Chains A and B, each alone.
Chain A
Amino acid sequence: MNLALKDIRFKFGRFLLTTFGISLLLMVVMGMGGIYRGLIQEATLIIDRAGADIWVVQKQTKGPFAEVSSLPRNMEYRIAAIEGVESACAFISHTVQRDFQGRVIRMTIQGLPDDGQWLPLLKGRPLRESHFEMLADKSAQLPLGTRIRLGKDTYEVVGITGQMNAPSGDAMVFVSLDDALSIRNDIPAEGIRSEREARVRRFDAMPYGSTSAEHVEILRSASKRPAALPGRRISAVLVKVREGWNKEEVLRRIRELPDVSAYTADEQRQIMLGGFVARSRRQIRLFRTILLIVSTVVMTLVLFMLTMDKVHDIAMLKLLGARNGVMIEMILTQALLIGCIAFGVARFLGQWAYPHFPRRVVLVAADLWLLFGIVVGVSILASVAGVVKAMLTDAGEVLS
């Protein structure tokens, strides 16, 4: 005859409600841990995915994510010429916030050096044309076929990726490198016109004889060189080191360039975790700890109250001569059952709920096991409080 199970069955409604309440609490704790992991994963996602050995950025900046970095387009070719560099590729990434169909969308526009075949596509296809096509992450909520104006051009969503978020958590959208450059360097027509005019004026101010009408003609033109405007800017250059070359050696050579800073992928990750998301990380970690303490207190209290409810029955059991083990087993079984079932329900509910969270929730097995251990520990702790109460209960209390 299992007293714990009989008691649970007797007050099944209350058992369910208690378990459900605790499971909701555990779901939040679990989710908070998942958000913490998600934050870290998002912060380093593009660094991991880009697969570059070395990141070259504007001198003395920690770009391109932690702060703005701006390099001339031709940096790509200068880096490519360095010995030991297998490939150098322009990287351009910047976040925009636009009003679109009555809502605010934030997206990080990412220039693709290729067609994006390697991206986790959920729907649609990779880029086929070199212009005006876009791959959007699911979290941007731009369905296939959506047309959206960015800069001077209209882009059509041809593919939907999953789980591609920028370090800021914003959805990533992918366009060709050239398109990304146009969007980032978009200057209104009036701006271009006045810049050309300013050049002509400066030219006119030069001493007579050093200029010619032909020069002026060239400066006014949009298509002939030298360009009317300064060259387009990119965010960074991604470097792959040639097979058999020492990465440190290549890094040292790149660092010899006087106008750039360079980091290994690991250093770039460190920049993100140690700076960009450090504050959010600390905040979430603190919040998770507080939540854990709150849950511990709530669970202990709830489980202890369950025991308090049974004081009279426990006194009767003692009067009938029950050994302590009988009472301990009864209290412990109930506490562990509630704790374990609540954990299971939380895990199950989370599976359904977390995808609806605005930011990524990543459940790590180690975190789950730790939480499970804590739940079991708290159940036992709460039982100890209950058991102490039971042990102190006087059989004579049956009389009162």
Chain B
Amino acid sequence: MKQALLAENLCKRYGRGDTGVTAMDNVAISLDTGEVVALLGPSGAGKSTLLTALGLIRPPDSGRIVIDGTVVFDNGYKTDVRAFRRSNIGFVFQKANLLPFLTARENVQLPMELDDISGGKSRRRAMELLEQFGMENRQGFKPSELSGGQQQRVAIARALANCPKLLFADEPTAALDSVMGRKVMEMMKRVAHDFQTSVLVVTHDTRALDVFDRILRMEDGKIGEK
């Protein structure tokens, strides 16, 4: 299988000197295309730090990141990260972070519009995605009119709108009950499979681990297979 993500020697230290914290210590990770991987670890292990580094949100101090054959980070960004993020990477967080002034459909449409996809086309695709997540009858609702689980499903639909190569999720089901959490996780896996998107999910919910193709563990800034 083709590699969607390859990262090596990622290091990140917060602060200086004795009081500094090593959040990532020579981390290496790779994801195959369409692979759905869980990342477990105690609080403060550096999971979120790793995700923001891989997602090109906050750069690591050093290391190398190759996404879909493109070197995007090699001790410094090598591409226009915002443009790259726009079309290649999707994010889901613990909070849905939907734009409050847009409807569910418009929130899903947004990444496509930002990528200059025409209104009609983006609208159709947004509706398709909402349908996949069982949200088609809520498409005209504002985020404030949706439940937490519904908001999260819209957020995942939004993350997948541009058919990204990679989807990063940081405790996406933490705010949901276990039944809804599992349901959301399964939907995410199914859609990722359809789109050939590689998924890396940070989770604490050990009951839904059977959904994943592979499980990684992180501790004290270091990563290991379970």
Contacts and interface: CB of A to CB of B under 8 A. Distances in A.
A360 interface: no
Q: Name the residue among A7, A320, A394, A396 with the largest chain B CB count within 10 angstroms.
A: A320
Contacts of A9: 101
A154 to B, nearest CB: 70
A326 interface: yes
A396 B82 contact: no
A118 to B, nearest CB: 61
A86 to B, nearest CB: 74
Interface stretch (A46-54, A311-319, A377-385): A311-319
A11 B114 contact: no
Interface residues of B, number: 28
Interface string B68-104: 0000000000000011111100010100010111100
Q: Name the residue among B101, B102, B111, B158 with the largest chain A CB count within 10 angstroms.
A: B101
A161 to B, nearest CB: 55
B115 A396 contact: no
B114 A321 contact: yes
Nearest to A398: B97
Contact of A396 (B52, B97, B142): B52
B100 A396 contact: no
Interface in B138-194: 142, 158, 170
Contact of B93 (A318, A320, A326, A398): A398
A10 B100 CA distance: 8
Interface string A146-157: 000000000000
| Interface SS of B by simple majority | helix
Given A321-B82, A321-B83, A399 B110 contact: no
Given A11-B101, A313-B100, A316-B97, A322 B106 contact: no
A11 to B, nearest CB: 7
Interface of B: 48, 52, 57-58, 82-87, 91, 93, 97, 99-102, 106, 109-111, 113-115, 119, 142, 158, 170
29 contacts: A1-B106, A1-B110, A7-B101, A10-B101, A10-B142, A312-B97, A313-B99, A316-B97, A316-B99, A318-B82, A319-B57, A319-B85, A320-B111, A320-B158, A321-B83, A321-B87, A321-B114, A322-B82, A322-B86, A322-B114, A323-B82, A326-B114, A395-B57, A396-B52, A396-B57, A396-B58, A398-B97, A399-B48, A399-B57
